Chain A
Amino acid sequence: MLFTNAKYVLNRILHGIPIILAIVVVNFFLIRLAPGDAAQVLAGESGAATAEYMDQIRKQFGLDQPLWIQFLNYMKNLLVFDLGYSFRHGRTIASLIIERLGATAILMGASMVLSIGLGVILGAIAAVRDRTFLSHVIVILAIVTYATPLFWVGLMLIIVFALNLGWFPTSGYETIGATLTSFDHMLDVLHHLVLPAISLSFFYMALYTRLMRASMLETLGQDYIKTARAKGLSGSRIVMAHALRNAIIPVLTMAGVQVSAMLGGSVIIESVFGWPGLGLLAYEALFSRDLNLLLGIFFLSSILVVVTNAVVDVIYTLVDPRIRLNGGRHE
């Protein structure tokens, strides 16, 4: 089964390649529709510039070349996984992305675990205790958090937990200037991670709670649950062994789709919390028209989404062994 899974994932990823290429091509031309170029931004930031200075920058950035030559060069380099060079940062794009990838991965990983975990638990409780006070509280909480803007949640958490209570730092990834052992450093990063991870998971937690509740309610109405009940199984056993696994499938599907959305949400959270991740890098790249860098990040994000979806498919089979990846179901 492991072998077939691996083969399946590989297959899915190979199928993803044309999609990723199409994304790159569309992105390449789409982002060039935005007026203004990197040289103008650099000159603008300087507050003054001479014509020679502008020419120098454009020449160095390759902006003086016709668009189709820029495109061919880009695609040629991409074939050997050379994402190019950011003249603004004076670094290769691959090195910039790799450096920032870790921070985003930690943030997104923590938020996914938090939001899926809490969402599933709260949603299940709300369904099992349907039409009780507790379930109403959970449903209202889910609606309110679902409707609350991400940045506002972030700022409120900062005001309450960082400023008033002083439990967490207001922003950043680690304590700067401190020399810590690797274990203390890990704790330090976790300490910084708490508020941004909670902020980012809020919205998704609400989403999964609502989805889980609906799915759980449906499952609990199924015939086999009635059978289990008739068999005399305890309520908790019915929920844990029979209902949960079936009800969780839509949540997993949604979580797979939401990975890309979460990457978008992390742009906001990273800028609010000064979290040095990819989202922040993309945001800056956009406003400085560092198009190669932006393309590099899009490229990586599209890979991430394709891979995540393949992985989610595999997880299905673990949660529900009846699902088969080659399209059939166990009978």
Chain B
Amino acid sequence: MNPIRQLLCASTLALGVAFTGWSAQAQQQGGTVVITTTPEPSLITNALSSAPTTAEVATKIFDGLLEYDMDLNPKPSLAESWEVSEDGKTVTFKLRPGVKWHDGVSFTSADVQFSLMEVVKSYHPRGKGNLGPVNSISTPDDLTVVMHLDHPYVPLIRGMSSLETPIIPKHIYEGTDFRNNPAVNAPIGTGPYRFVEWEKGSHITLERNPDYWRDGQPYLDQLIFRFIADAATRAAGIESGEIDVATFGTINPVEMRRLEKVDGISIAFGGYEAIAPVMLLELNTARPPFDKKEVRQAVAYALDRQRIIDTVWYGFGKPAVGPISSFVKGAGAWTDEGVRDFTVPDRLEIAGKLLDEAGYPMKDGKRFTFIHDAAAFGEDWRRMGEVIKQQLGKIGIEVELRNRDYPTFVRAVHNEYDFDMTSSWYIGMADPTLGVQRNTWSKMINKDVPFGNSSQYSNPEVDALWEAAQTEADPAKRNDYFHQLQRILVEDSPLIWIMDMDLVAVQRDRVKDLITSPFGVRGGLYDVWVQD
């Protein structure tokens, strides 16, 4: 039996077990949940954009072919079953019958073909990654979708969620200019909630889809997304009870720790297993001082990860071992075996020695100076820059801090590559090929496209491993490639991985079953209910 099929069979079994052991409390029908997120999205159809807040709204309106359990095994959604051919080059999905779009039109295989090939593959920034070698999709009948691949592609089955590859209605989009189609901001989907209104600058209202294919779900009558520009006001909103859920990044970590102690408010952990976010520093390997491996390693040794996590992020994360988040442990891609460990007790001495060897000896208590461009994502990132400055000062490296507004930052750092060190975070996704690969694969060095391989790290051995993992069908062999990659990349340290991030949300306790998918609040939220 084909290993992929084995995996799929096992997952279908696991699914049955998961369903029988579900929720102890009885769900109540009705009620409204108010979610705050920031910034306000520019559009709310995530087939055309992968902006985080676009996805947070759109995943309630659209479905994907598949969903995933907490261990990232696929489970049915718009597709009831799926089968990968012996050679791994044909994947057949059987669709759920009787599904209707919010406007009453029947959902068919033509919608899937259109969404994936015409829209997602060319318009979604991660479409080419998720659909990789899919060269065509045929639709033998209304409920059958057959994908034809150039070569086997294991990540395919991990990227079929409503977050990554949402299915949009062909009858609304066909023959139109997709981005200017009015439906982009008044979407029609098959998902648990229907779009009602969008008051720009204020809120988006969604209502229960009474014809949703999951009988009796969703439980809520309304789901409202509110947009408030000021972080302190958002915190006050959840404290006063006007807001029920605040997504990650809407409330400062220090405020989250305070709110956690308030009666009726808690932190919702989990729900980022499939997103696998990692926070990191990117070093410009194309110019001094970080063109030398020893210097990069020295910095990696000198940084006290746990201290950064505690003082800047208030403990919302744990020290990263390498490029792949330990959250994806279940799939076997993650390892710390044979990976260079920077957290040894004598790390400062090692760092000093490495810098001496690299030709940066200590002179008058100083070795060299460089500029750190803090990511323009907010105050926390600037504060992390200050902590880095202080920590590197201990080994004689002087850090100048530079803070710029978002568009200036993106152009200078991620388009012009004019930087020494910058902070960032990426979503590793359920499969390293989908998320992690992009920062160290030399084909992603492209000044026209921000947030690729901005370190300009180029290593033929690493390229070969990433490329082998793309086409390999055997999960064990792929995991072996990923383990090798982790060892090489950490040894070379073109990036310094700081923290596996806890992408937590803050919630009022009246909201129940908020996190039931590895996408957390970026899932369909059809299990959510409120107890008043």
Contacts and interface: CB of A to CB of B under 8 A. Distances in A.
A48 interface: yes
A271 B412 contact: no
Nearest to B223: A177
Given A48-B452, A272-B233, A173 B202 contact: yes
A46 B50 contact: yes
Interface in B94-116: none
B173 to A, nearest CB: 14
Nearest to A38: B407
Interface stretch (B16-24, B122-130, B467-475): B122-130
Contacts of B40: 284
Contacts, number: 179
B39 A284 contact: yes
A72 interface: no
A283 B242 CA distance: 24
A41 B41 CA distance: 12
B407 A50 contact: no
Q: By CB atoms of chain B within 10 A, which of A35, A103, A171 has the most? A: A171
Q: By CB atoms of chain A within 10 A, which of B179, B199, B407, B426 has the most? A: B407
B233 A46 contact: no
Interface string A258-300: 0000000000001111101100110110011100000000000
A37 B39 CA distance: 18
B410 A274 contact: no
A88 B410 CA distance: 17
A96 B199 CA distance: 10
Interface stretch (B73-81, B386-394, B443-451): B443-451
A90 B236 contact: no
B227 interface: yes
A308 B239 CA distance: 40
A90 B40 CA distance: 14
A272 to B, nearest CB: 5
Interface in B442-467: 446, 448-452
Contact of A99 (B125, B179, B200): B200
Contact of B125 (A46, A169, A176): A46
B59 to A, nearest CB: 15
B449 A274 contact: no
A34 B202 contact: no
Contacts of B203: 172, 176
A52 B230 CA distance: 35
B408 interface: yes
A53 interface: yes
Contacts of A159: 236
A246 to B, nearest CB: 42
A259 B403 CA distance: 32
Contacts of A289: 407
A34 B408 contact: yes
B200 A100 contact: yes
A109 interface: no
B235 to A, nearest CB: 9
B117 to A, nearest CB: 15
Contact of B240 (A44, A169, A270): A169
Contacts of A51: 446, 448-449
A173 B200 CA distance: 12
A60 to B, nearest CB: 6
A73 B394 CA distance: 56
B450 A40 contact: yes
Given A37-B407, A170-B233, A276-B200, A43 B450 contact: yes
A102 to B, nearest CB: 12
Contacts of B227: 274
A87 interface: yes
Contacts of A281: 200-201
A53 B129 CA distance: 13
29 contacts: A35-B408, A36-B406, A36-B410, A41-B406, A43-B125, A43-B410, A44-B451, A48-B125, A48-B438, A48-B449, A50-B128, A50-B449, A54-B449, A56-B123, A89-B185, A96-B200, A99-B200, A103-B201, A151-B230, A155-B236, A159-B236, A166-B240, A169-B240, A176-B202, A274-B202, A274-B237, A276-B199, A280-B201, A284-B201
Interface of B: 32, 34, 39-40, 42-43, 49-52, 122-123, 125-126, 128-129, 179-180, 182, 184-185, 199-203, 205, 222, 224, 226-230, 232-233, 236-237, 239-240, 242, 405-412, 414-415, 426-427, 438, 446, 448-452
Interface of A: 34-37, 40-56, 60, 87-91, 96, 99-100, 103, 151, 154-155, 158-159, 162-163, 166, 169-173, 176-177, 270-274, 276-277, 280-281, 283-284, 287-289
The 9 closest A-B CB pairs, nearest first, are: A36-B407, A276-B201, A274-B228, A271-B229, A276-B202, A36-B411, A45-B51, A49-B125, A46-B50
Given A170-B237, A177-B34, 14 more contacts: A36-B407, A41-B406, A42-B51, A43-B449, A43-B451, A48-B129, A51-B449, A99-B200, A154-B233, A172-B203, A277-B201, A287-B406, A288-B42, A288-B407
